[in-house]
Structure 1
Amino acid sequence: MCTNITLTSTNKDIFFGRTMDLNMSMFGEDSGIDLNVKLVSIPKNITIESQLKPWKSKYSVLGVCSKDTTILYDGINEYGLTGDCQVLVEATRSKTTEIEAKGKIPVMGEEFVTFVLTNFKNIQEIRNSYVDFMLTDQPFMYEGAPLQFPLHYTFIDTTGDGIVLEPVMSGGFKLYDYIDVMTNSPEYDYHTVNIRNYIGLENVGVSEKKINNTTTLQPIENGTGYGLLGIPGDYTSPSRFIRSFYYKNMLDTFESDKGINTLYSIFRPLIVPRGLEHANKEEKITDYTRYWSGYDVTNRTVYIQTGEGLAITSKELDNSSTEITYSEIKLDNYIYKTH
């Protein structure tokens, strides 16, 4: 379960953020397989050692990854192309031999964000080429075990253009125009229709009393928040999509120096606390927000906060690096203390 949102400042700078909601350990916080998440810098003009078929990176990339793997959960490249992956249970894959027999290029789903960000400069290039690729059913081997997530993908660029790619056609992709928010299943066209069911929501309260027959109704607290009365508050993906869409479109305008703060604030009601989403009564590890990441697209900078602490780690893309490097993500509760 994940959410992403894109905001644009009055200066036309773009800010992209996502929550990573998962029932697997990412920072050593739970038992079982740990995904060992770090910040990664991938330089251009190096060989990416895919488990399927290696490729050469055209562009440098900064993002969030599982260390010593080709799995990138979200990231940004030197041209500002930014993207992430999220769970889509309707996702499909095909055998590599069948993909190649169709004249298409097989890609592993877990490597797809890495593949796109190291190979494409902007959304138009992806629009021109996405039909050439299909997802293979070859599982990604991680710590000796097969790892395979059903996924769909969001990408944006510095022009404000954005797309959603969903591999629902035997590994082939449907492309949708991105409306600046994304969650999980169902497929994207369901969500874009479902938002119409909440068309009456607004960011204006009800300040005047109403008389129904013989009863006078006085709004509570002068009607603050009444415009959003009825907005779904649960953590299902359709509900998170509704909240994300209307919150994003009701925000006050903001200038670029407030971009990351504004982006972070809109995610606060979307961050899932630990313990609310057990898959079943026997499952002790819950689906919750393992991390939030926010990208200042103009400045090619990522900010990341984990569910383990209040600290935020920031890193700017280094376009001069010549080898893959990893940076630790702070897990502590570092707080400035005053006396």
Structure 2
Amino acid sequence: MIRSVTAILVAGSMVFAPVANACTGIQLSAKDGTQVAGRTLEFGAPIDWYVTTVPAGTEISAELPAGSTGLTYKTKYGITGMTAYQSTDFVDGLNEQGLSVGLFYFPGYASYPDLSEENSAKALAPQQFATWLLANFSSVDEVKAHYDDVVLVAATFEQMGEVIPMHVRVIDKSGNALVIEPTDKTLKVFDAPLGVITNSPTYDWHMTNLSNFINLSVVNVPPVKLDGVQLEAAGQGAGMHGLPGDFTPPSRFVRAAVFSKSAMPVDTGAEVLDQTFHILNNFDIPYGAVRGEDNGKPAPDYTQWTSVADMTNGTWTVKTYDDQNLRVVDLKSALAAADGKVVHIDPKQWSQTYQNISSDFK
């Protein structure tokens, strides 16, 4: 009977659930002052990803329908990170000033005004917002002062065939963080002291929901006696009993907050980078474990890549689904190598390597 009910539920989810997108972002720091921002990128459809470097002085124009005008600007700072397709549309990136910006899917809540004569001079497509922030600002304070200098309009991302519903996390090298969300056809900004973000609902809802889990503790529950009978926890982790373990955005937000803010302090930037990847491993979605549907076919949501930006030391590190080796971009060196050009690296050319240690048994 249980197997039958499960089959019905799975089949129903494949029919009615949309393509899922389950990104998770966290923030950590080391004792030496290093600040890092990590995130996973999940999607229920294949996306053509590129590790991209964009130098300062690059001209970028709004991606709007043919015949429409929009904002055109030149980048003030060089940028590296991951773009969707061979474009300058950063989904996650780091600029020369140590500003980290990431787009996170925000379905059901994102809303944008239509392109009009009144807003066209400041108009950008939603997928261009992270790039604009990275290109022009060096700190969270600057972003707060200017985030609404542009208007994100309901423009379709051509390669994906939809208007991208997204919200944005911004963290600078001082550790200040904020979240910007396009709701009610306007941009709303929230301070984000935990540096944590997932997907829908809205950021303030997630922060309120955390109050439901203030009982959680990293410390194991001590034994108790009931009428002379001593009861002990069955094993380690009793303090975390009740931690939500599913892949929904509210549950991932709680886990991300708990894991990142209970992490043991480490001394150096190298250590905190490793620590961030270890924490993000908890949000890695195996192919097939979460399924939506796309045009009537199953669309497994899985972790396509995971990245960590070191805002202090100017590096952006990534691993992909097909290659768990860590690939590091030192932004200063990458910009020098690019020599004023926009350069794309295709992660599909990478392959997982395995070190055979058999001959070491001597």
Shorter-chain TM-score above 0.5:
yes
In the alignment, what sits opposite 1:245?
A: 257
The reply to whether residue 336 of structure 1 matches residue 350 of structure 2 is no
CA distance in 2, matches of 1:169, 1:134: 13
Native 8 Å contact 2:63 2:155 kept in 1 = no
Aligned to 1:315: 329
Query: What is the Cα deviation at residue 147 of structure 1?
Result: 3.4
Give the TM-score normalised by the residue count of structure 1.
0.90
Query: Which of the residues 120, 141, 151 maps onto 2:158?
Result: 141
- Residue 273 (structure 1) shift: 1.0
1:108 and 2:125 correspond: yes
Select between 52-61 and 175-184 the one with higher mean Cα deviation: 52-61
Give the C-alpha shift of residue 20 in structure 1: 0.4
1:1-339 superposed matches below 5 A: 1-26=22-47, 36-52=48-64, 53=70, 54-89=72-107, 90-97=109-116, 100=119, 105-142=122-159, 146-170=161-185, 172-178=186-192, 179-206=194-221, 208-213=222-227, 215-221=229-235, 224-256=236-268, 257-280=270-293, 282-317=296-331, 318-320=334-336, 321-329=339-347, 331-339=350-358
Q: Residues 233 and 99 from structure 1, CA distance in 2 versus in 1: closer, same or farther, beyond 3 angstroms?
A: farther
SS of the residue aligned with 1:97? coil
Give the whole-Å Cα distance in 2 for the aligned partners of 1:67 and 1:332: 19
Q: Which amino acid aligns with 1:209?
A: P
Q: d(CA) in 2 for partners of 1:177 and 1:133?
A: 20
- Tell me the C-alpha RMSD between the 2 structures: 1.8
Worse-superposed segment, 53-62 or 74-83: 53-62
- TM-superposition CA deviations, 1:129-172 (whole Å, max 9, x none): 12332210121222xx63322000000101111110000031x2
CA gap of 1:99–1:123, structure 2 versus 1, over 3 A, is: farther
Identity of aligned residues (%): 26
1:77 CA drift (Å): 0.4
Structure 2 unaligned spans of 5+: 1-21, 65-69
Q: Which amino acid aligns with 1:262?
A: Q
5+ residue gaps in structure 1?
27-35
Counterpart CA distance in 1 for 2:157 and 2:223 is 60
CA distance in structure 2 between the partners assigned to 1:106 and 1:212 by the alignment: 66
Q: Which structure's residues are more often helix, by fraction? A: 2
Q: Deviations over 1:33-78 (max 9, x none)?
A: xxx2111000001212432443211110001012422321100000
CA distance in 2, matches of 1:46, 1:129: 20
Deviation string for 1:294-335 (max 9, x for gaps)? Answer: 112112111111112322222111343301011232642212
Check the 8 A contact 2:103/2:167 in 1, yes or no: yes
1:122, distance to aligned residue in structure 2 (A): 1.3
